[in-house]
């Protein structure tokens, strides 16, 4: 280290990686889905090295986690400093300084000019479960509404509203018996076979004119949970009217709007949080992933009057760990100091432009979409938009063998979410590999 570019010294996975993979497959849960046979050994910046010495350009950031780059020196320094002070006290019985310091910082950058409170968690799923409980407590209502193709996690509360596929839901019935679902505005594949904008945003009318009149009474609905951009569902960016209209509907009906920013937060989309693109302040916002540089952390940030539950209603022994909070403080400081939202916006525009140029050359690219450095590429087999699922899998594996880490999303999409410190030169490196693989996949 430091790394300059991808380097493959032995066909991956090499012998050392294979040894780890074999032991992993014998001992770890078989429920873990693996995109490629990468064994992470070292990392720095936008590169990851495996134990055989292969170096990969990371276009996934561990699913939008290492936004400030792998092993960011400023975050590491903050962690080391905190380790010399305090590693742990039970934060449900006692108080710690880093939690309060970070809460003050977080309130300044999260949407909404209102008094806020925060509950710190250890993951995105925990943050979603917290938000669900909080909304039900506050409203004393029964139902929750989620969006088809949405992903919110895999704990029992979160998975109730995860509908990206059956694998996360199969075998766990009964899930929470409160959930109802409506279609997300996936305009490239409209569930109503309409065209935007001539559709008049029928998906919103479906909520108000069908669901609220035939299925779920709005005055018995506690919350609606939504991703501002669907993540695991395919990096789907909704029309500009969607989130503001949804906010208006929830306000008119006294429904808590939970916006899941677990994957879209911390400068990923060109704003600190994606909700800002549409001027919407959620009642509760769930965050995780990039919050603490890969340490287990999350949060539910809410209007103070919504987080009105009793003492003991919701707690967690490990939540708000001082070392984790020190990392989170350092991450946020780095994002602000280095203007990563602006950087993500600029480089994201460049990346989308280059991908759109590839779309014109290769018919397998059906759609290019995204905000900032959260870019989706949907692969199709033909003009009928038949999902190219098999081709997507082959492309990911071939890219891996050549030193580029890619992640899938949706049925046949790629999610491109590199660390926000990536340079234009490094984007071009990745695009060079990507195009070579594209040629091989479609030949």
| Domain of residue 353, CATH code | 3.90.1150.10
- Same-domain status, 163 and 308: yes
Residue 1 pLDDT greater than 70, yes or no: no
Give the CA dihedral 234, 352, 382, 412, nearest 10 degrees.
-20
Both structure tokens of 111 = 């949407």
| Domain of residue 172, CATH code | 3.40.640.10
| Percent of the chain predicted with pLDDT > 70 | 100
Phi, psi values for residue 198, rounded to 5°: -65, -15
User: Which tens digits make up the pLDDT trace of 396-418?
Assistant: 999 999 999 999 999 999 999 99
Does residue 63 fall inside a structural domain?
no
Residue 341 pLDDT greater than 90, yes or no: yes
In the predicted model, what is the mean pLDDT of residues 73-90? Answer: 97
Strands 42-44 and 47-49: antiparallel
C-alpha torsion sign, points 56, 57, 62, 66: positive
What is the total residue count of the chain?
443
Chain mean position to CA 294: 13
Kindly state the DSSP code that residue 231 receives in the 8-state scheme. T
- Same-domain status, 20 and 81: no
- Same-domain status, 53 and 129: no
- Same-domain status, 278 and 420: no
Both structure tokens of 369 = 């979409």
Return the pLDDT at 268.
Answer: 98
3-class DSSP state of 118: strand
Domain coverage including residue 88: 74-337
Both structure tokens of 356 = 């759109």
Among the candidates 314, 337, 360, a domain finishes at: 337
Confidence category of residue 177, pLDDT binned at 50, 70, 90: confident
Distance, CA of 5 to CA of 169 (rounded, Å): 40
Classify each residue of 211-243 as buried b or exposed e, where b means 16 or more C-beta atoms within 10 Å of its C-beta: bbeeebebeebbbbbbbbbbbbbbbbbbbeebb
User: Which tens digits make up the pLDDT trace of 191-244?
Assistant: 999 999 999 999 999 999 999 999 999 999 999 999 999 999 999 999 999 999
Least Cα distance to 165 among 409, 419, 352 occurs for 409
Domain count, the chain: 2
Residue 443 pLDDT greater than 90, yes or no: no
User: Which tens digits make up the pLDDT trace of 126-151?
Assistant: 999 999 999 999 999 999 999 999 99
């Amino acid at each position: 280290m430091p790394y300059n570019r991808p380097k493959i010294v032995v066909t991956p996975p090499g012998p050392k990686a294979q040894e780890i993979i074999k032991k992993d497959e014998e001992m770890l849960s078989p429920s873990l889905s693996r995109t490629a046979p990468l064994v992470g050994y070292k990392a720095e910046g936008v590169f990851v090295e495996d134990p055989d010495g292969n170096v990969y350009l990371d276009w996934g950031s561990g699913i939008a986690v290492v936004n400030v780059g792998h092993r960011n020196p400023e975050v590491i320094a903050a962690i080391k400093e905190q380790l010399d002070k305090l590693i742990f006290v039970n934060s449900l019985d006692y108080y710690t300084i880093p939690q309060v310091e970070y809460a003050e910082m977080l309130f300044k950058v999260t949407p909404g000019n209102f008094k806020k409170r925060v509950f710190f968690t250890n993951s995105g799923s925990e943050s979603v479960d917290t938000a669900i409980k909080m909304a039900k407590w506050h409203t004393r209502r029964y139902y929750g509404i989620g969006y088809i193709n949405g992903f919110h996690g895999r704990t029992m509360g979160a998975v109730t509203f995860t509908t990206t596929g059956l694998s996360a839901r199969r075998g766990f019935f009964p899930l929470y018996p409160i959930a109802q679902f409506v279609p997300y505005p996936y305009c490239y594949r409209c569930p109503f076979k309409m065209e935007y904008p001539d559709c008049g945003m029928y998906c919103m009318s479906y909520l108000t004119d069908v669901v609220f009149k035939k299925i779920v009474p709005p005055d018995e609905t506690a919350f609606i949970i939504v991703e501002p951009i669907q993540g695991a569902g395919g990096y789907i960016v909704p029309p500009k009217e969607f989130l503001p209209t949804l906010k208006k509907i929830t306000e008119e009906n006294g429904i808590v709007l939970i916006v899941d920013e677990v994957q879209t937060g911390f400068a990923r989309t060109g704003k600190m949080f994606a909700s800002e693109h549409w001027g919407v302040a959620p009642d509760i916002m769930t965050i995780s992933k990039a919050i603490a540089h890969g340490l287990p952390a999350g949060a539910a940030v809410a209007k103070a009057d919504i987080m009105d539950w009793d003492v003991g209603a919701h707690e967690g022994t490990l939540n708000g760990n001082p070392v984790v909070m020190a990392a989170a403080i350092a991450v946020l400081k780095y994002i602000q100091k280095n203007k990563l939202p602006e950087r993500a916006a600029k480089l994201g525009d460049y990346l989308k432009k280059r991908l759109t140029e590839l779309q014109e050359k290769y018919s397998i690219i059906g759609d290019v979409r995204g905000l900032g450095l959260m870019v989706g590429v949907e692969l199709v087999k033909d003009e009928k938009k038949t999902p190219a699922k098999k081709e997507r899998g082959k492309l990911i594996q071939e890219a891996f063998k050549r030193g580029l880490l890619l992640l899938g999303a949706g049925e046949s999409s790629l999610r491109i979410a590199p660390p926000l410190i990536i340079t234009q030169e490094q984007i071009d490196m990745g695009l060079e590999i990507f195009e070579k693989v594209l040629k091989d996949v479609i030949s």
